[in-house]
Chains A and B, each alone.
Chain A
Amino acid sequence: MTAAGGGGATGRRRGWRLAAWLAGGLLLAAVPLVVRNAFVHDVMILTLLWAAAASAWNIAGGYAGQISIGHAAFFGIGAYTSSILFVDLGVTPWLGMIVGAILAALFAVLISVVCFRLRGPFFILATLAFAEVLRVLALNWRSLTRGSYGLEVTFRESAANFMFAGKRPYTYLALLLAAGMVALVRGLERAPLGYRLVATREEEDAAEAMGIDTFRAKVIGMALSALLTALAGSFYAQYFLFLEPGQIFSFEVSIQLPLICVIGGIGTAVGPLLGALLIVPFSELLRAWLGGAASGLYLSVYALVLILVVLFMPDGLVGALGRRAQEAAA
């Protein structure tokens, strides 16, 4: 997309791109109508859910350059808040997930105040510590979270309860969540906040010299990222209806989000979606085919892909595909 291409060509290309996106979206939306297989729905839901959560991580990690390996904290706050409010107080999860998102954003601000004086590995380790603190708290605060017994959300089918009998409504909601998230990040990319975040990531001191309040930009980016991650967490809770601190506030969740982003293309709007499309169905298939015998195997392959991608294709799939497209165009 060079300026030399002229307004008409760029406009046409943008039109094509929009059409391609719409077609892709419609195709995805049509799958649940045609396919009845529960496994396909399951894979689709998980793929879209992780794509959404990874997109949320991407705002802080990809755009602002604040690599967090503690996002399980926000994911867990979202999941537990909506579930506890529903189970103990009968508050509808639709409202509960908003409360959870706000709580997660507030927690993110707290973390930011502590962590944003730190950079590089120190920052990463601090985010890890915060998530671990929440995990230990959730394990021990039994009256609130039921600890390691797990919190079971009783299934009462009703749209008002965010609970549905079939998988199809969940599939559409996941699609909506993921599409909304990607669109939001795409919008953010062109908004003043997006530019501020990228400038902060690239050269914090220079950004500061340009008059950007980098601390403020980072805090807002982190809070937004936490808020959206919590929404994904609430969705997870509504879909699985069972929460356990060791699983929710886990290092696996924290690491899953950056992995998806890195493989897809960190700091790009579609990267998390591509990463999730590649990784999640693959791991679910491997898990389904090999069953218990494969425990460990699929994550090993996953990790190997990550190492190779990060060392030899650091721009991820988006970067590789983008280069290919540029070469083809030239």
Chain B
Amino acid sequence: MQTKLVWPCLFPLAIAFSVILSGCVQPSADQNIKTELLVYAASSLTEPFTEIEGAFEKANPEVDVRMVFAGSQALRLQIEQGAPADIFASANQAHMDELIRGRHIKKSRYFASNELALIVPNNNPAGVETLADLASTSLLVLGSDNVPVGAYTEQLLDRAELGLGEGFKARVQGQAVSFENNVRLVRSKVEMGEANAAIVYLTEAMSPKLKIVPMPGNLRVHIRYPVGALVGSGQPLWARRFITYLLSARGKQLLSEHLFQVSQ
């Protein structure tokens, strides 16, 4: 009795299992073999790099570019642990320098720059009109100091102390309710209307749910994005070509469409 009931149930399971197994064994055998280029890029580069991926693949049909987006520090950790990346594009020089020191990358080049923006939800519930207001704004969300956006925010607040008086940075940080681990997490808290204000990259501030509060020009923090090819890359030629493409007029155009600043 028991066996009669059990065996018919096992058949579909066995079939499903073998399908899954066969899927694991031959993933790429069906397509004509393309060269795979693995690009590790800071999460703030998601939009322009996705477009650059498409454009580069169109120009070079024999290459399949695959993008991995995450916080620069997470990517650095993965590369240090032997991730098979061909190219690394970082949101700050510190992580790139660490990889150069660890001989994972020989040299890097800047390909774009960015700046910080003070954002509030569209309806600006706390009425933030200037950077100085942050010292008295509740529900403020900032980047954690161990991630690029947080480190740049500290630079900005340090600089602002010259005009707004000593202790401004401490007062602002005292208003923070959360120190987020990447710029997207910071932005999402304002987009969902839970935070009254936040500091993010200018390129992250373009959302119909957000409003930018202008900041004095003399406080501008220059954020530069370096890119480098991995020493251990199996595709050094294509890695170099991708970086050249990034620095070409077409690459610059795609970057500037997403508000990144590029040298002309």
Are A and B physically bound partners?
no
CB within 8 Å of A: which residues of B? none
